[in-house]
Amino acid sequence: MRKKKKLSSRLKTLDSSSVCFRISTVRDAAQLGMAWKSRTRSLQVFDTELSADSVEWCPVSNCHRFLVCGTYELQKGKGEEDGAPNRTGRLYLFEYQHEALSPPLSERQRMDTPAILDLKWCHVPVSGKVMLGLAAATGELQLYVFSDPQEGTPNLQTLSSVELGVDKLALSLDWSTGRMDSSDVRVVCSDSAGHVSVLSLDEGSLMTLSQWKAHDFEAWISAFSYWDTQLVYSGGDDCKLKGWDLRIGPSSPTFVSKRHSMGVCSIQSNPHREHILATGSYDEKVLLWDGRNMQQPFSESLLGGGVWRLKWHPTHQHLLLAACMHNDFHILHCQQAMDSNKGACPVLASYILHNSLAYGADWSRLSLEEPAPVSHTAVDPKEQLTDSRGHLRIQYESPTASFDTSLEDDCGQYIPEGIAPQSTSSNSGDIFTPDQDVSSLSFLLASCSFYDHMLHLWHWDWAPAEAIDQC
């Protein structure tokens, strides 16, 4: 793959100006029952140099302003004598400072690591320490401790690691603490050999409690039920979604679903609504399930791109963020589907300013008292692709072993077939309103893309139409 030209400045902020949101107008419009509109706006772009596939905002109180980003780079040998491909990575730590006049996202630390497939913060401190888990291409689950930013320079330090097995890649991890509960903290991890492992923390050290063969091929994803952490879900390249009850052991799954027609690569339990589960797949669908009846999903939404990651909003129970590989990032409104147990989840907003495969995405828990600057210079990346030549369509990709043999064009880009470019503003908000009594909503998000090795910081506003139209 041809190397991309480096940015003249590794850190850049898109030209911006202040938003003309007027809170009184927003509140008045909401009271009159006016239609709501939705808008996404780019704030900052950071070149990660290596291919980026994971971003995670810290969920722990007093640390919400910190963000980590993980990268994965496959360095192929020039001949057979070079042996197996070398997978390298880098872990970035950023701090968001809203009042800063310069770019709001500042790099605080970078660490060279094995290639990173997944990152997850523990949702609560463990023995007073903030923990970060890392799934590495070496087959290790690594644990880092985050220093208290009140006591000096914030940084991550290696605490412990455990090897999941020989000749395998750790692909995903999830903490049992999704409902901000610190009791019985455990980690579930999946790997490229189709295994799922459950681990506990013993004075900062990881200890494997159980490991079993869950899928015939790669087990792309594993996750806890946040409401009953003895229940674990897994999804694999065998197109199967499975459930496991740790109380009775992993000798056989509690259910097996083949409702997805391709590999299952994303699962997340809703931390606000018991029994609700979201799954995504290379088949480009997001399915919502009731954990009490896993025979059929009650909602199916086609998003036009393989759904690599799903994230429920940390406080708004009906909002779901999806990273859709070949079709950008989307925010889904799931209230009607969840309340009626049927129907698709409409897209409220889309962020389309990445030039490459959409992999990592996450919501910030920061409270934004005032809207962030609006970008006026962002260019639709789809327009940048119109003059490309010699594209080789790459199907069914993942940031792991399948890249070893995938064909790429000289820019590492892909143009999905039959998908029209989308505006950075969505009109779906005209129909739907928030499930809470608020005058407007404004959120900060981060996302990253693979071949162009970019981390984006962006803003999503959802407010009565009059307030947005005045801007």
Q: pLDDT: is 310 or 150 the higher one?
A: 310
Residue 26 lies in a domain: yes
Q: What is the pLDDT of residue 37?
A: 86
Number of other CB atoms surrounding residue 436 within 10 Å? 10
Name the nearest CA neighbour of 92 among 121, 63, 54, 65. Answer: 54
Please state the rounded mean pLDDT for residues 307-333. Answer: 97
| Cβ neighbours, 10 Å, residue 28 | 15
- In the chain, the percentage of residues whose pLDDT exceeds 90 is 65
The span from the CA of 207 to the CA of 123, in Å, is 19
**98/369 Cα distance (integer angstroms):** 10
Asked whether residue 3 is domain-assigned, the answer is no
Indicate whether 178 belongs to any domain: yes
* Sign of the torsion angle spanned by Cα atoms 202, 208, 214, 217: positive
Q: How confident is the model at residue 36 (pLDDT cuts 50, 70, 90)?
A: confident
User: Which residue from 453, 452, 429, 449 is spatially nearest to 441, judged by alpha carbons?
Assistant: 429
Q: How far apart are CA 301 and CA 331, in angstroms?
A: 12
Q: Are 138 and 116 in contact (CB under 8 A)?
A: no
Q: Give the confidence band of 25 by pLDDT, cuts at 50, 70, 90.
A: very low
| Contact indicator for 93, 110 with CB cutoff of 8 Å | yes
Which has the higher per-residue pLDDT, 429 or 434?
A: 434
pLDDT higher at 454 or 85: 454
How many domains does the chain contain in total? 1
> pLDDT tens, 126-137?
999 999 999 999
Query: At which residue do the structure tokens 């990592």 appear?
Result: 360
The answer to whether 89 and 137 are in contact (CB under 8 A) is yes
pLDDT average, residue stretch 318-335: 97
Question: What is the reported pLDDT for 196?
Answer: 98
Q: Within 13 A of 410's CA, how many CA atoms are on the CB side?
A: 5
More confident residue, 84 or 98: 98
pLDDT at 203 over 50: yes
Query: Would 318 be classed as within a structural domain?
Result: yes
CA 443/CA 168 separation, integer angstroms? 37
CB 143 within 8 Å of CB 131:
yes
pLDDT given at position 402: 45
Contact 422, 352 (CB under 8 A): yes
In tens, the pLDDT along 171-191 reads 999 999 999 988 889 999 999
Whether the pLDDT of residue 144 is over 90: the answer is: yes
Mean pLDDT taken over the chain? 81
The range of the structural domain enclosing residue 450 comes to 11-469
Q: Is residue 1 in a domain?
A: no
Is 461 within the bounds of a domain? yes
Q: Does 460 map to a domain?
A: yes
Q: What is the pLDDT of residue 468?
A: 64
HEC string of the chain equals CCCCCCCCCCEEECCEECCCCCHHHHHHHHHCCCCEEEEEEEEEEEECCCCEEEEEECCCCCCCCEEEEEECEEECCCCHHHCCCEEEEEEEEEEECCCCCCCCEEEEEEEEEECEEEEEECCCCECCEEEEEEEECCCEEEEEEECCHHHCCCCEEEEEEEECCCCCCEEEEEECCCCCCCCCCEEEEEECCCEEEEEEEECCEEEEEEEEECCCCCCCEEEECCCCCCEEEEECCCCCEEEEECCCCCCCCCEEECCCCCCEEEEEECCCCCCEEEEEECCCEEEEEECCECCCCCEEEECCCCCCEEEECCCCCCEEEEECECCCEEEEECHHHHHHCCCCCCEEEEECCCCCCEEEEEECCCCCCCCCCEECCCCCHHHHCCCCCCCCCCCCCCCCHHHHCCCCCCCCCCCCCCCCCCCCEECHHHCCCCCCCCCCEEEEEEEEECCCCEEEEEEEEEEEHHHHHCC
What are the pLDDT digits (tens) for 374-426? Answer: 333 333 433 333 333 333 333 455 676 443 333 333 344 333 333 333 334 44
For the segment 2-29, the average pLDDT, to the nearest whole number, is: 32
Tens-digit pLDDT profile for residues 335-368: 999 999 999 999 999 999 999 999 999 999 997 7
Provide the b/e sequence for 192-215 (b: ≥16 CB within 10 Å): bbbbbbbbebeeeebeeeebbebb
Residue 107 burial (C-beta neighbours within 10 Å; 0-12, 13-18, 19+):
middle
Predicted pLDDT at 121: 98
**147 vs 231: which has the higher pLDDT:** 231
Span 56-84, mean pLDDT?
A: 84
The pLDDT of residue 428 = 47
130, two tokens? 């903030």
Q: What is the dihedral of CA 374, 41, 372, 43, to 10 degrees?
A: -90
Residue 99 and residue 88 in contact, taking contact as beta carbons nearer than 8 Å: no
Q: Answer yes or no: is 198 within a domain.
A: yes
Residue 53 belongs to a domain with what CATH number?
A: 2.130.10.10
